């Protein structure tokens, strides 16, 4: 595994416990991977395609890529603990690099066909720098496919199920702020509050993201939205994973989780961006 010295202090996925518990939420992350992979099955199955799964985590999307025929696959993540879980699953079926999206391109030279970054875009510290790295790694007309979800992405007015789910999540993060000093929580509560108040000013939307993509010399090829849905049990599993990342002491964590009220329905939207890179 290639290693980097990136500062991972803003990454909640660095502990061994978080990486071990991550598979409890596979059912959710796998849904995103299947949607994303559907866009590009022929390109993935081409044995000559060089594919990167950026922010691979424990390799949930890598599993779907391999199932769809990916042969030349590199898994990249700044968290050693997450990469080790992926390496246990796939061994020699993939290559592994410890790096962030902001500093991975040194390992490539305009030779990559498809780059996936699923369920991690909100963790990137500098999106402009990430796009520059994508350009350095990619062949002409390569694809960069990433997804975004609320609250870091704004879809506008919310249906009732989504509103109730956002409200419950805002309350969850507010309670989390009382027991964890993670710098990620304050901003998450702020975003949830803005969505609930229909104050969309300053939030990242499709228009804002498209302008950013264009200003970096990239071209938006496809865009799609869908919703991830589940019951209150599914929401609790997600909250358990988030708490594992942010409350290190197990007893404190279980006590905290017992007092959280999950919404009847888990419902949140995601959006896919398929970007054409280095096109002439
Ligand atoms: C929610 S997990 C998503 C994992 C996987 N892509 C999936 O869909 O299941 C987020 C992953 O992003 C990684 N990550 C955090 N900061 C990152 C960065 N700056 N660049 C790339 N990956 C990052 C984390 O270590 C974690 O493994």
Q: Tens digit of pLDDT for each residue in 37-52?
A: 877 767 888 999 999 9
| 116 CA: nearest ligand 1 atom | 6
> What average pLDDT is seen over the chain?
91
| 53 CA: nearest ligand 1 atom | 6
Per-residue tokens: 205: 């939307």
Whether pLDDT at 3 is above 70: no
CA of 280 to the centre of ligand 1 (A): 30
| 19 CA: nearest ligand 1 atom | 27
Which residue, by CA, sits nearest to atom 1 of ligand 1? 119
Per-residue tokens: 23: 């598979």
Which of 73, 88, 109 minimizes the C-alpha distance to 19?
A: 88
Compute CA distances 124 → 27, 67, 78, whole Å: 23, 27, 11
CA distance 12 to 94: 24
Kindly list the protein residues whose Cβ atom lies closer than 6 A to any atom of ligand 1.
11, 13, 29, 32, 54-57, 60-61, 77-79, 82, 100-102, 118-120, 123-125
Which of 62, 101, 61 minimizes the C-alpha distance to 79?
A: 101
Which residue, by CA, sits nearest to atom 4 of ligand 1? 57
Per-residue tokens: 261: 């009220």
| 100 CA: nearest ligand 1 atom | 20
Which residue, by CA, sits nearest to atom 23 of ligand 1? 55
Contacts of 59 (CB under 8 A, 6+ apart): 53, 75, 85, 86, 89, 90, 94
| 8 CA: nearest ligand 1 atom | 16
For domain 16-277, the question of CATH label 3.90.850.10 is answered with no
Whether pLDDT at 89 is above 60: yes
Which of 234, 243, 260, 191 minimizes the C-alpha distance to 29?
A: 234
* 8 A C-beta contact, residue 15 and residue 81: yes
Tell the residue number behind the tokens 């609320």, with chain if given: 150
Q: For 107-155, write each residue's pLDDT tens digit.
A: 999 999 999 999 999 999 999 999 999 999 999 999 999 999 999 999 9
pLDDT at 1: 63
Which residue, by CA, sits nearest to atom 16 of ligand 1? 123
Tell the residue number behind the tokens 């309350």, with chain if given: 171
Instruction: Break the chain into its structural domains and give their ranges.
Output: 16-277
Which residue, by CA, sits nearest to atom 3 of ligand 1? 119
CA distance 27 to 31: 7
CA of 106 to the centre of ligand 1 (A): 19
Length of the chain: 280
Q: Which contacts (CB < 8 Å, 24+ apart) does range 83-88 have?
A: 83/1, 83/56, 84/19, 85/19, 85/20, 85/22, 85/23, 85/57, 85/58, 85/59, 86/56, 86/57, 86/58, 86/59, 86/62, 87/1
| 57 CA: nearest ligand 1 atom | 27
Residue ranges with strand state E in the chain: 50-54, 72-77, 95-98, 112-117, 138-149, 219-231, 265-277
Q: How many C-beta neighbours within 10 Å does residue 3 have?
A: 11
CA of 224 to the centre of ligand 1 (A): 21
Segment among 63-67, 98-102, 180-184, 251-255 with least mean pLDDT: 180-184
Q: β-strands 265-277, 138-149: how paired? A: antiparallel
Q: Which helix (H) or strand (E) holds 183?
A: helix 183-196
CA of 7 to the centre of ligand 1 (A): 14
């Amino acid at each position: 595994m290639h290693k980097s010295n990136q500062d991972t202090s803003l990454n909640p996925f660095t502990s061994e416990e978080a990486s071990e518990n991550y598979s409890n939420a596979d059912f959710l992350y796998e849904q995103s991977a299947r949607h994303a992979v559907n866009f590009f099955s022929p390109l993935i199955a081409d044995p000559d395609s060089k594919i990167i799964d950026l922010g691979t985590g424990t390799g949930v999307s890598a599993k779907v890529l391999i199932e769809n025929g990916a042969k030349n696959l590199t898994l990249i993540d700044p968290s050693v603990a997450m990469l080790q879980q992926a390496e246990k699953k796939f061994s020699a079926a993939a290559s592994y690099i410890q790096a962030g999206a902001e500093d991975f391109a040194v390992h490539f030279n305009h030779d990559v066909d498809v780059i996936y970054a699923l369920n991690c875009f909100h963790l990137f510290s500098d999106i402009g720098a990430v796009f520059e790295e994508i350009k350095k790694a990619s062949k002409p007309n390569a694809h960069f496919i990433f997804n975004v979800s609320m609250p870091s992405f704004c879809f506008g007015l919310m249906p009732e199920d989504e509103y109730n789910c956002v409200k419950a999540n805002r309350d969850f993060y507010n309670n989390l702020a009382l027991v964890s000093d993670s710098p990620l929580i304050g901003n998450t509560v702020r975003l949830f509050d803005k969505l609930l108040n229909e104050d969309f000013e300053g939030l990242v939307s499709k228009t804002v993201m498209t302008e950013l993509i264009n200003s970096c010399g990239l071209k938006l090829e496809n865009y799609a939205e869908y919703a991830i849905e589940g019951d209150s049990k599914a929401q609790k599993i997600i909250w358990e994973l988030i708490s594992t990342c942010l409350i290190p002491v197990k007893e404190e964590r279980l006590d905290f989780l017992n007092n959280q009220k999950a919404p009847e329905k888990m419902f949140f939207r995601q959006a896919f961006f398929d970007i054409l890179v280095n096109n002439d």
